[in-house]
Amino acid sequence: MVDEAGGDALRYATELEKNALLPFSDFFKIVGGIYSTDDSVDIYEPFVSFLVSRLTDDHRILFAVFAAVFGFFYLKSIGILYDLYRKNPGPDALIHLLFFCVILPITTINGVRMWTAAWIFFYGAIHVVWYRDVRFLILAFMASLVHFSFLSANVILLIYFIARNRNYIYLPMALVSFVLPQIISPFLQRLSLRLGGALQTRFEGYTNEDYISGNLESMEDKAWFVKIGNDLVFYYLVFAVIIMQILSRKQIRNDRERNLYSFLLLFISFVNFAAFIPTLGGRFKLVFFLFATTYLFILFLHMKRSRVSVITIVGLFPMLLYAAVAFRTGATNMNAWIFTPGLGVPLLMPALSVAQLLFP
């Protein structure tokens, strides 16, 4: 569903119509323009848009392709956790597995670049962290071609890959990041002046005071439960990781849990230090949710319990609130016709969102 109010989805639909009028020779301008002085430094969206435009200018086909790529990495990532759950099921692990599924659901497809990149990065990074598989390090870096900002996340992953589990460095850094995130703001702003070209333009766009003010104003317009939903989940995950790390310290026997905990310490430092850029820190906070929820999930797999733990009970409200908000916001982008029988019906019928049915 393309939101009539505007936003990225409407822009993608408009660009598809423009691309349909271009000759095929312009394809090389798109490929050759990556990280140049062109307006876009992300190759994925213009690349797919141009290829689809050779067949049709129907934005529904474009988003079907976007959804296929998004869905592939989304389901592959869920499959990793589900395979572990089948071997050792439990109520706590199940609840966190279900929450993992709603952190970045398919309804976020309107923000196709950022959230597709998030799932590509997670799927690649989790293999790097758990198994040190260089092939998946390359895959994780490919997320930067989908969304420019993942260059920074991949730098963090590369640092971890080289430095490995240096908790005596990561832990103090993580603690400091909760107190002094603003100390890197002047450094990053000076760094942006040296990047040049589209990289400089993009970074300045993220750090521009007017842009930040606009994002803060849009946040103020949101309902209270939208504003605090992410924060409640964030602090629940942080405190749950700390408590579970203490309670399960003697039970953590393999490198998978140790590696992920170390990476979490490093990644949360990155998220906190990036928080001075609302649109950047806020987005990567959701990526942190994926890794933190995975960590809690694998720890709960070791617990032989038939009842839900107190830790999970405490987290139920934040997780349910987050899921409710995700459904409400995603209902605008969810085509109601997908729930009808028949392959291809959503492409043939007039647009009708779930939000129009449930929230008239």
pLDDT at 11: 85
DSSP 8-class letter at 183:
G
Instruction: Give CA 281 to chain center in angstroms.
Output: 11
DSSP 8-class letter at 56:
-
Rounded Cα–Cα distance for residues 39 and 196 (Å): 13
Q: Assess if residue 200 is contained within a domain.
A: no
CB 145 within 8 A of CB 154: no
Q: Assess if residue 303 is contained within a domain.
A: yes
Q: Assess if residue 81 is contained within a domain.
A: yes
Rounded Cα–Cα distance for residues 264 and 261 (Å): 5
pLDDT at 273: 85
Q: Assess if residue 25 is contained within a domain.
A: yes
- State whether residue 304 is helix, strand or coil: coil
Instruction: Give CA 28 to chain center in angstroms.
Output: 29
Q: Assess if residue 119 is contained within a domain.
A: yes
Residue 37's region, left for phi above 0, alpha for psi from -120 to 50, else beta, is alpha
Q: Assess if residue 220 is contained within a domain.
A: no
Residue with tokens 């602090």: 235
* Tens digit of each residue's pLDDT (9 = 90 or more) over 78-132: 999 999 999 999 999 999 999 999 999 988 888 889 999 999 999 999 999 999 9
H-helix segments, the chain: 8-19, 27-32, 44-53, 59-87, 91-103, 112-131, 134-146, 150-163, 167-177, 185-195, 197-207, 209-220, 224-247, 255-273, 278-301, 310-330, 345-348, 354-358
What would the two tokens of residue 279 be? 């649109």
Based on its alpha-carbon atoms, the radius of gyration of the chain, rounded to whole angstroms, reads 21
Residue 100 belongs to what H/E stretch? helix 91-103
Q: What is the pLDDT along the chain (360 residues), one digit of tens a residue?
A: 555 444 577 888 888 988 888 888 777 766 555 544 445 557 898 899 999 999 999 888 999 899 999 999 999 999 999 999 999 999 999 999 999 999 999 888 888 899 999 999 999 999 999 999 999 999 999 999 999 889 999 999 999 999 999 999 999 999 999 887 766 666 655 655 555 544 555 555 554 444 444 444 444 445 666 668 889 999 999 999 999 988 887 776 688 899 999 999 999 999 998 877 766 778 899 999 999 999 999 999 988 778 999 999 999 999 999 999 888 888 777 766 666 665 555 556 666 666 666 666
Q: Assess if residue 60 is contained within a domain.
A: yes
Instruction: Give CA 123 to chain center in angstroms.
Output: 11
Q: Assess if residue 334 is contained within a domain.
A: yes
- Which residues constitute the domain of residue 243? 8-185+231-355
**Domain count of the fold of the chain:** 1
Q: Which residues pair with residue 350 across a beta bridge?
A: none
* Tens digit of each residue's pLDDT (9 = 90 or more) over 292-328: 999 999 999 988 778 999 999 999 999 999 999 888 8
- Report the predicted TM-score, pTM, of the whole model to 2 decimal places: 0.87
